[in-house]
């Protein structure tokens, strides 16, 4: 389109008053907001920060954090290798290898010989938890997960079961019921027999 096209509408910038050109109202408005925050911080009111890790955030009971594999009353992994969680996962971060269950496990035909979740690829949507028919996989309230390599963020069956052992007292298995939030938290180091360095997690008590 040509610049002299009559269809073009030329916009004339509005004229600013002398006060508007000085930007004093905007500057004073910003100073008022800053002063308000300074006063609130001095009085200890309206703080939006926490002295982490000394003071730890208490997430909502519906918070979706690190996964865990639940165990039944006999200490066996509850997963029956139905693959529904892996199928429901929108980012395909779950990899399961099923195997025939031992003869003594009369309540199921299969179990998960291998269960791996890529915690870096996961978007923590909770669809795996919803899809599981036996409540074998759940997302906990653990959020302080970090690592020095991508390999550390690959959680295998052993690591996922260790998360259950770590959180089972503070976060009972949901079974459709959201547990109440707990205010008592401490920290500990958890090691697993799998390869990789120590993983720092929250201890729920």
In a domain, 107, yes or no: yes
| CB atoms near residue 139 (< 10 Å) | 20
Rounded Cα–Cα distance for residues 64 and 50 (Å)? 21
Rounded average pLDDT over 71-81:
94
Rounded average pLDDT over 60-89:
94
Tokens of 118: 């890529």
Q: What is the pLDDT of residue 37?
A: 85
Per-residue model confidence as pLDDT tens digits over 14-61: 888 888 888 898 999 999 999 998 888 788 776 677 888 888 888 888
In a domain, 153, yes or no: yes
Range of 195's domain? 67-204
* Domains: count for the chain: 1
Is residue 58 within 8 A of residue 183, CB to CB? The reply is yes
Q: What is the pLDDT of residue 67?
A: 95
In a domain, 78, yes or no: yes
Alpha carbon 4 to its chain centroid, in Å, reads 57
Q: What is the CATH number of the domain that holds 87?
A: 3.30.70.3270
**Strand ranges in 20-126 using DSSP code E only, listed in sequence order:** 67-69, 94-100, 110-118
Residues in the chain: 205
Rounded Cα–Cα distance for residues 113 and 153 (Å)? 20
- The model's pTM is 0.63
pLDDT at 5 over 90: no
Q: What mean pLDDT is reported for the chain?
A: 82
Q: What DSSP string runs through 152-195?
A: GGEE-HHHHHHHHHHHTTTS---TT-PPPP---EEEEEE--SSS
Choose between 93 and 15: higher pLDDT: 93
The lowest-confidence range among 20-29, 81-90, 189-198 is 189-198
In a domain, 31, yes or no: no
In a domain, 122, yes or no: yes
Rounded Cα–Cα distance for residues 42 and 40 (Å)? 5
Instruction: Name the 3-class secondary structure at 111.
Output: strand
B/e letters for 60-91, b = 16+ CB within 10 Å, e = fewer, are eeeebbbbbbbbeeeeebbbbbbebbbebbee
In a domain, 186, yes or no: yes
Residue in the block written with tokens 């008053």? 17
pLDDT at 193 over 70: no
In a domain, 17, yes or no: no
Instruction: Name the 3-class secondary structure at 16.
Output: coil
pLDDT at 184 over 70: no
In a domain, 115, yes or no: yes
The lowest-confidence range among 130-134, 181-185, 195-199 is 195-199
């Amino acid at each position: 389109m040509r610049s002299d096209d009559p269809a073009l509408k030329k916009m004339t910038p509005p004229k600013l008053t002398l006060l508007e050109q000085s930007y004093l109202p905007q500057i004073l408005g910003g100073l008022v907001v800053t002063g308000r925050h300074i006063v609130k911080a001095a009085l200890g009111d309206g703080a939006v920060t926490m002295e982490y890790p000394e003071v730890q955030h208490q997430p909502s009971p519906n918070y979706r954090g690190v996964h865990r594999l639940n165990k039944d009353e006999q200490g066996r992994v509850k997963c029956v290798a139905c693959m529904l969680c892996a199928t429901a996962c929108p980012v395909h971060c779950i990899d399961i290898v099923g195997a025939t269950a031992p003869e003594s496990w009369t309540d199921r035909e299969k179990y998960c010989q291998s269960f791996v979740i890529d915690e870096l690829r996961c978007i923590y949507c909770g669809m795996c938890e919803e899809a599981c028919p036996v409540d074998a996989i759940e997302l906990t309230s653990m959020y302080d997960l970090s690592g020095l390599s991508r390999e550390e963020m690959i959680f295998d069956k052993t690591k996922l079961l260790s998360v259950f052992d770590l959180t089972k007292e503070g976060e009972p298995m949901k079974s459709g019921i959201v547990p109440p939030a707990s205010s008592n938290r401490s920290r500990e180091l958890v090691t697993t027999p799998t390869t990789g360095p120590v993983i720092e997690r929250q201890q729920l008590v």
